[in-house]
Amino acid sequence: MKSYMVIEPTRFNRIHMNHLSPAYKFYHHELKDADSDVMAQERTRQFCLSNKHTKIEDQLATMEFLYMNDYFKDLDRALTFDHLHPEVVQLYRIVLDRKTTRLTEQDLKEMETWTFEHPSLRCIHLFLLVYAYYDMRKYAGMDKYTEDIQEALFTINEPLFHYYMKLRFDELTFHHYWKINSLVLARKFAYKYISSGLAPKKLATMHHHLALTHSLDDYDQTMDYLLKTKHLGEIHQLPDIIQSVTNHSIPFTSAFHNRTENVHTTDPVEIAHLAIARGDNQKAIDLLSRRTSLSPFQQSYLGLAKKDLALLRHAKYRFVHESRDLFFAQLPEHYMKRVLTIV
C-alpha cells in the first residue's frame, strides 16, 4: 500500500468524516509527491508550525502529527501558541510531559473528573486514562476503557487524527495482550501497527517489542526481528534504538538461549547474565550483589547464579504483582526449572 493511502479513511469511516484538516491535506499531498516519507514528514512539520488554525479538529490533527512523529520540541513550542483551545493545551501538555514523568494514581483520579464535549477531545482523554493505568503497571486498565475507546473512534470526524488514534489503540492493545501473555493476539496487533505506521522510531520500537514476544521460545525469530530493528535504527539514525538492541535485547536473548559467542555489551546487568550462560556464576554474583536494589530481571539472574529457588520465586511474584507482567514472569520460571535440573 502506498504511504498516502495509509492515512486515508476507509470507505466505512468516510461516512462520519466530514472535515479534512489542513495538516491532513498537506501531508496527504506530500506523501504522494515527495521523494520520501521522511521528506513528507519534515515538510508537514514545517507546515504545522507556520500555520495557525482555529478549529479544534485542525489543532488536534496538528498536535497529534507532531507527537506521533517524535517532534517533541516542536510540540512543546506549539503548545505555547495563543490561538490554541485551552482544552487542547491541557490534554497535550499531559501527553508531552508523560514522556519524562509517568502518570500517578493522583493524576488518574484528577483526570477521571474531567469531561469533554468535543468527541475528539473525549477520545484522547480516554487514551490518557489508560496510559495512567499503564504507567502504574496496571495493564488491566485497558479492559475498563476498550469499548469506550472503540466507540469514540467512530465519532472522530477528521482523518489524520483518526489515523493516529487507531495507531494508539493498536499499540495499547498489543501491550495489553503481551503483558497478559496472549501472544497470538499481541502479535496480530503488532503486525497491524507495523503495516500501517509511518513514523520511523515508532515502527522500530514496535519491531523491537515484537522481537521480545519471541524471546523466551524462539531464538532465531527473536534475532531476526532484533536485527531488523537495528537496521531501521541505522537507516533512520535512531541511536537510542540501536543502543537498546545492542546492549540489552541481543545480550538478553543470547544469554537466555545460551548462544553467547561473539556477543558483547556494556551493560553490567547483561554482562552478569552472559557470565551465567558462560558458566561464570561467581562473576555474575559479584556484579549483581553490588547493586543496592534489584529489579525482577536482576533478581532472576542472581537467583539463577546462586541456584536460589526462593529468590527466583520472589522474582516471579514481583513480575506478577508489582509489574503485572505475566509474560516475563515466565523468566524466573524457566530459571527455576534449570536450577532443579542442575540440582
- Calpha distance 248→250 (Å, rounded): 6
Determine, yes or no, domain membership for 136. Answer: yes
- Calpha distance 107→94 (Å, rounded): 10
53: helix, strand or coil:
coil
Q: Are 157 and 179 within 8 A, CB to CB? A: no
Determine, yes or no, domain membership for 243. Answer: no
- Calpha distance 11→94 (Å, rounded): 33
Residue 185 pLDDT exceeds 80: yes
Same domain, 154 and 275: no
pLDDT computed for residue 9 by the predictor: 85
Determine, yes or no, domain membership for 335. Answer: yes
Determine, yes or no, domain membership for 317. Answer: yes
Q: Of 180, 212, 228, which marks where a domain is finished? A: 180
Q: Of 153, 180, 207, which marks where a domain is finished? A: 180
Q: Are 295 and 272 within 8 A, CB to CB? A: no
- Calpha distance 340→343 (Å, rounded): 5
Determine, yes or no, domain membership for 259. Answer: no
Range of the domain at 308: 267-343
The cell numbers describing 273, all together, are 547474565
b/e 289-317 (16+ beta carbons within 10 angstroms → b):
eeeeebebbbbbbbbbbbbbeebbebbbe
Residue 285 pLDDT exceeds 80: yes
DSSP element (H, E) containing 62 = helix 56-68
pLDDT computed for residue 343 by the predictor: 54
| 167 contacts: CB under 8 Å, gap ≥ 6 | 68, 193, 196, 197, 202
Q: Are 185 and 142 within 8 A, CB to CB? A: no
Phi, psi of 104 (to 5 degrees): -115, 175
What tens digit of pLDDT does each residue of 215-250 get? 999 999 999 999 999 999 999 999 999 999 999 999
Q: How confident is the model at residue 112 (pLDDT cuts 50, 70, 90)?
A: very high
What tens digit of pLDDT does each residue of 43-61 get? 999 999 998 899 999 999 9
- Calpha distance 231→312 (Å, rounded): 35
The mean pLDDT of 139-143, rounded to a whole number, is 81
Same domain, 164 and 303: no
Same domain, 25 and 171: yes
Q: Of 133, 154, 180, which marks where a domain is finished? A: 180
pLDDT computed for residue 105 by the predictor: 95
Same domain, 176 and 274: no
- Calpha distance 210→230 (Å, rounded): 13
Would the pTM of this model clear 0.85, i.e. be above it?
yes
Residue 12 pLDDT exceeds 90: no
Same domain, 172 and 272: no
Determine, yes or no, domain membership for 204. Answer: no
246: helix, strand or coil:
helix
Q: Are 265 and 271 within 8 A, CB to CB? A: yes
Same domain, 130 and 273: no
Same domain, 175 and 281: no
In the chain, the number of structural domains is 2
Determine, yes or no, domain membership for 234. Answer: no
